[in-house]
Amino acid sequence: MNTVIKTTLFAGLALTLAACASEPDTSTFGGQLEAQGGAVAEIGAKWSEGAELIADGADLIEEGEDDLEDGRRLVRSGESDIDDGRNMMRRGERLQAEAEAAYREAQAAGRAPAAIPLN
C-alpha cells in the first residue's frame, strides 16, 4: 500500500513538472496570456483549454455527421431490401397459387393423380 502511494505521488510530481516545463504556444491568444505568468496565465490556460474543446467538438461533430450519413445509407439499403423481399414473397405466393390452380385443373381433366395434401 505504501508503494502505491509513493508511486502515485511520484507520478503526480512528474506530471506537474512536465506541465511547468512545457512552454505555451505563443501563436494563440491563450498562449500569449500563459506566457505572461501570474493570474493572467490562468486566464490564458482557460482560453487554451476552451480552444482545445472547440477543436475536439468540431472533430466530434464531423464524425457524427459521417455516422449519420452512413446510417442514412444503411436505412436506404434496408428499406430497399425489405421492398425486394416483399416483391419476392408476392411473386412466390402468385406462383404457388398458379401451380395449385393448374394442379386442380389437371386433376379435374384426369391428367393428375388424386389430391396431394398441402401443408
> Looking at the domain assignment, is residue 12 inside a domain?
no
Supply the DSSP string of 67-85, one letter for each residue.
Answer: HHHHHHHHHHHHHHHHHHH
Q: Which of 86, 90, 108, 110 lies closest to 98 in space, CA to CA?
A: 90
Question: In this structure, is residue 91 part of a structural domain?
Answer: yes
* Domain range for 42: 27-107
Tell me the C-alpha distance between 14 and 111, whole Å. Answer: 95
User: pLDDT at position 33, please?
Assistant: 67
The number of distinct structural domains making up the chain is 1
Tell me: the pLDDT tens digits for 57-114? 999 999 999 999 999 999 999 999 999 999 999 999 999 999 999 988 988 888 877 6
Contact 14, 6 (CB under 8 A): no
Domain annotation covers residue 15:
no
Report if residue 14 sits inside a domain.
Answer: no
First and final CA of the chain: distance in angstroms? 73
Residue 116: inside a domain, yes or no? no
- 65 in a domain, yes or no? yes
pLDDT category at 18 given cuts 50, 70, 90 is very low
pTM confidence score? 0.51
Structural domain contains residue 55: yes
CA distance 72 to 37: 50
Instruction: Give a yes or no: residue 114 inside a domain.
Output: no
Helices H / strands E in the chain, number of each: 3, 0
